[in-house]
Chain A
Amino acid sequence: MTSQEIFEQLKRKFGDKILTCEEPAGPVPPCGSGAGNSPALAGLKIEPAALPEVMSFLKDSPEFYFDSLMCLSGVDYPGLPAGEAGHLTVVYHLFSTSHNHKIVLKTTVSKGAHFIPTVSHIWPAADWFEREAYDLLGIKFEGHPNLTRILMPDDWAGHPLRKDYQYPKEYHGVPHS
């Protein structure tokens, strides 16, 4: 199934909770070593609140059966759209081993105290991915069983992959050059 078909089916089932279907970002050239490997995919934007419902549906329904969470990444988009406080986006790359189709889902929250529901109960792979996104970008996943730092030390201040991250002057007496 193509992203567009999946989008239309989801739109019929979930209505307004599925926001938009972005055009495939970037060029779609049949060239480069990456040719054939994962054609450029459109991203479906969904409401954070609808995540658990939509994701469970994508995983369990036989026509989609997205059993594999390939990748979960957080991205910081400060000040986008212009004038706002900025947003954190979580990108989910899903893949179905039996249907051999893929999809990209994106959900966005504004910075601050907002939470994104966890998907770690749907795909256990998300457990560590979400911890990483929390550690490096400060995205809080609601309902995660153990949302602690995973790569940085437990007492580290700040989230390094935020675009406005301030480098520390020192860490336990080790100066930052």
Chain B
Amino acid sequence: MNEMRGIETEEMIINMGPQHPSTHGVLKLVIKTDGEVVSEITPVIGFLHRGLEKIAERLKYQQFMPYTDRLDYLASMNCNFAYAATVEKLAGIQVPERAEYIRVIIAELNRIASHLVFLGTSGLEAGAWTPLLYGFREREKILDLFEMTCGQRLTYNYYRFGGVAQDLPAGFIEKAKEFCDYFEPKLKEYNDLLSYNRIFINRMAHIGVLTPETAIAYGVTGPNLRAGGVKWDIRKNEPYSVYQKFDFDIPVGRGEVGETGDAWDRYMVRIREMGQSLKIVRQALEMIPAGEYCAKVPRMFKPPAGEVYCRFENPRGDLGFYLVSDGSQNPYRLKIRAPSFSNLSVISVLGAGTMISDLIMIVGSLDIILPEIDR
């Protein structure tokens, strides 16, 4: 021990990223470490900045729709949905009921697909490969349904102002019901495989505890907020589209295996949300009325001058659009409030004082996606 006394130690600064397998895209975290312990985290973002808000000002309203696919590419349908609904609100477009049901079915299926990727990457973070293969196996079936609906598997461009681009194809309802029956037992499989796995719990419980106060102060939304025990879901609290017609619950974190709001709670809320989305899809498939799939919206589309801010429950949290119109064919200003942007900003609080290996689990449990952060 006496020999150790003379050794001087100092803090080290490490760049984690921008090419790091567990940062889910091009994110750089500059971390100050004292041995294994992280004392300070500075996220550096912007590597994927494409200037979407600037692009929006130079395009017509309709032309921006495909760009919303490229916000959160794991939940493109939900981003389409949010943008279409914001413009409809600004222009006062009435959406046919069948279109609303189609939108909800597709958006909820996309939510499941997005959470399945999260399931897979959460396993990877902890060194488990198998859940990824399980998650992608089911996601593939959802992508098949999407391909059948709009021809695309990743960037769909399916929603339109006033409805959707085309009606559900023949046989979609049956295939979707088949998928529901197939998918339901899989949730138990995930729980047996990963959620209640002792090693996984030991890695995920008690780390990165996010309290409701911190979450709200930092603008954290979605499953990350609900994991802290806050029963807040825009689909329920400020229902848009036809969400008020469905019976579903809002899963919240309860600290079953650790503390409320820890990384495991964030994980589990998403697993349970898949079950709730499935419930919505089932009801919507039963209740979907006949009728038009899109309202008639003029090609020379000019919403009246005005402004609107709408927010929507995306798989990763509140996606908000602040849209200012000057009455011309182009948006005057479109501010995109991306959920992951605010969700990531809390990492410097959550990760401080943890081990480097835990930091990777915490970043993973926030389920951020970089294209919508950098825009």
- Which of A's residues lie within 8 Å of B, judged by CB? 25-27, 29, 31-38, 40-41, 67-71, 73-76, 91, 93, 97, 100, 104, 123-125, 127-129, 136, 149-153, 160-161, 165
Q: Is the interface of B mostly helix, strand, loop or mixed?
A: mixed
Would A151 and B345 count as touching, CB distance under 8 A? no
The CA of A36 and the CA of B88, in the complex, are separated in Å by: 13
Would A161 and B310 count as touching, CB distance under 8 A? no
Instruction: List residues of chain A with CB within 8 A of the CB of B217.
Output: 67, 123-125
Smallest CB–CB gap between B50 and chain A, Å? 10
> Can you list 10 residue pairs at the A/B interface with Cβ under 8 Å?
A26-B306, A26-B308, A32-B92, A37-B234, A37-B312, A71-B320, A124-B345, A136-B53, A151-B49, A161-B57
Would B95 and A33 count as touching, CB distance under 8 A? yes
The CA of A25 and the CA of B326, in the complex, are separated in Å by: 11
- B307, B318, B324: the one contacting A70 at CB < 8 Å is B318
Instruction: List residues of chain A with CB within 8 A of the CB of B84.
Output: 33
Which candidate, B10-18, B197-205, B270-278, B334-342, is the interface stretch facing chain A? B334-342
Contact with A along B75-94 (1 / 0, CB 8 A): 00000010011101111111
Instruction: List residues of chain B with CB within 8 A of the CB of A123.
Output: 217, 219
- Which of B's residues lie within 8 Å of A, judged by CB? 45-46, 49, 51, 53-54, 57, 81, 84-86, 88-95, 100, 103, 216-219, 230, 232, 234, 237-241, 244, 303-312, 318, 320, 322, 324-325, 332-333, 335, 337, 341-342, 345, 374-375
Instruction: List residues of chain A with CB within 8 A of the CB of B237.
Output: 100
Smallest CB–CB gap between A27 and chain B, Å? 5
Would A33 and B88 count as touching, CB distance under 8 A? yes
Would B88 and A38 count as touching, CB distance under 8 A? no
Smallest CB–CB gap between B88 and chain A, Å? 3
From known contacts A32-B89, A33-B103, A75-B333, infer whether A93 and B309 are also in contact, taking CB-CB under 8 Å. yes
